[in-house]
Amino acid sequence: MKQDKFLAFGVHIGTQKRRKDMEEFVYKIRSDGLAVMNIQKVDERLQTAGKFLAKYNPNGILVVAARDYAQGVAKKFSELIGARSIAGRFMPGSLTNPESPDFTEAEIVVVADPLVDRQAVTEAKQLGLPVVAFCDTNNTRENVDLIIPGNNKGKKSLGMLYWALATYVLRERGELQKNLDLSVTPEEFVEL
């Protein structure tokens, strides 16, 4: 992925609050106290996550996004890779209570923010399901199996992160040529 796209969408801009768990992804601290993430590491983790998710049956992937800015892009990402999504509030028991009207089965869970989507992360861990999460500098690794570092609060950044991950998943599956991008642009993802 071209790193200038990540920069243009603010994927690398973290928060002023930094957790020890995320130190390895921080490139530097700006004069205003905001952490700047290493774009190369962001891209490497997106590629790793793409390879990992491509191994799963698309219908077994559950994408969860409660944050307002993440909901539309999570739905579009899910649609592109054939996954299922829960956008908005994740109802307790959605993964663990077969009697719940919201019950769904999954093999792996992808979350936009492990802090905001903590109920989904907790239930996935109770079931032993792997969790892939977009993590900003204020997130922890707790109950997350694969971290994708990046700004998980900004609308543009989330659009770019989900777009890049969809591109890598589809390339790994052989559904998209290695040198091609999705027919949907990152800008179109942001508008969702």
Q: Where are the domains of the chain?
A: 3-190
First to last CA, the chain: 22
Q: Tell me, what's the pLDDT at 29?
A: 87
How far is C-alpha 143 from the geometric centre of its chain's CA atoms? 15
CB 124 within 8 A of CB 90: no
Q: Tell me, what's the pLDDT at 1?
A: 61
- Residue 72: closest CA among 176, 138, 178, 163: 163
How far is C-alpha 174 from the geometric centre of its chain's CA atoms? 21
Token digits of residue 99: 């009697």
Q: Tell me, what's the pLDDT at 114?
A: 97
User: Residues 150, 83, 127, CA angle at the centre, nearest 5°?
Assistant: 80
Q: Tell me, what's the pLDDT at 157?
A: 94
Q: Tell me, what's the pLDDT at 36?
A: 86
CATH T-level fold of 3-190: Rossmann fold (3.40.50)
How far is C-alpha 42 from the geometric centre of its chain's CA atoms? 11
pLDDT digits over 85-102, tens only? 999 999 999 999 999 999
Provide the whole-model pTM.
0.94
Q: Which residues in the chain land under pLDDT 70?
A: 1, 192
